[in-house]
Amino acid sequence: MSTFVMVAFGGLVGVGAFLVFAGLTGRQVFAARRSGPVGRLVASLVPARAAAAVAAGSAVLVVTVWPVGGLLAVAAVVGGPRLLGGRSTREASIARTEAIAGWTEMVRDSMAAASGLEEAILATASVAPAAIRAEVTVLVRRLEHQNLADALAAFGDEVSHPSADLVVAALSIAARMEASDMTGLLSRLAEAIRGEARMRIRVEVGRTRVRTATKVIVGVVGATIALLTVLNRSYLVAYDSPGGQMMLLIVGAIFATGGWMLLHMSELDMPERFSARSAADRGVTR
């Protein structure tokens, strides 16, 4: 019986280590498959990061017998990827901003050859930038059974980006009334949106040093604790007492506060979104 328990524990530790690695690197372990409901159910019930957090907390609790240590391990797995990673998310946000500018230019260029604004939008469905191609495709499908203003309002809600709201507002105005210089307006909007993307790239480059220093500090502290736990456990005996657990909680709270401040400093304050609403949404009868 004891052998079975040890084998099961070893297997759980291995799975937990894999899930911790997947959670810290942002890899998706439980992928939802479109072809079957079972995969979607498993993915919704057992998220990779939650499983990794539970496994890490359990492993630390078993090895160290520190309740606070297990709690801190759970917090590290949950917040670690956002603090140490997030590069793909930031790059995707910048790519989305540039895609909005590119699609705006496509609509502008298509208006010269198309017979109207709606036809110009339809012409961009197959060549829209990859970051917003899905939203543009849905917009084109909506145009089959909705008017242009309502379809654009729904498109702005799906893209959910302040720059897209500017484009949607301009196109909605053009859809409701004649615009004297629509191509010039779209050109200026695209230029402004590209300027925003360039600004965000410069900010990301400037903050690379801070993120690198954060990774080094967290890595050194984590490696030191792990080595002391394995090679010199007697050095950490002071934390076995309730007072030691309280001190460990205070130290963990200090680290968590520092991590929260770093995250707050690294976030960009996006302008508040606004959406072009139809007359029905405002309660006005056409």
Is residue 261 over pLDDT 70? yes
**Cβ atoms within 10 Å, residue 60:** 23
Please write the tens of the pLDDT for every residue from 9-48: 555 555 556 655 555 554 555 444 443 444 444 444 346 6
Is residue 57 over pLDDT 90? no
According to the model, what pLDDT value does residue 248 have? 87
Query: Are the beta carbons of 32 and 43 closer than 8 angstroms?
Result: yes
Residue with more model confidence, 92 or 46: 92
Mean pLDDT, the chain, as a whole number? 76
Please write the tens of the pLDDT for every residue from 101-160: 999 999 888 887 766 788 888 888 888 999 999 999 999 999 888 888 889 888 988 888
Is residue 219 over pLDDT 60? yes
Query: Are the beta carbons of 171 and 117 closer than 8 angstroms?
Result: yes
Torsion sign across C-alpha atoms 18, 85, 214, 261: negative
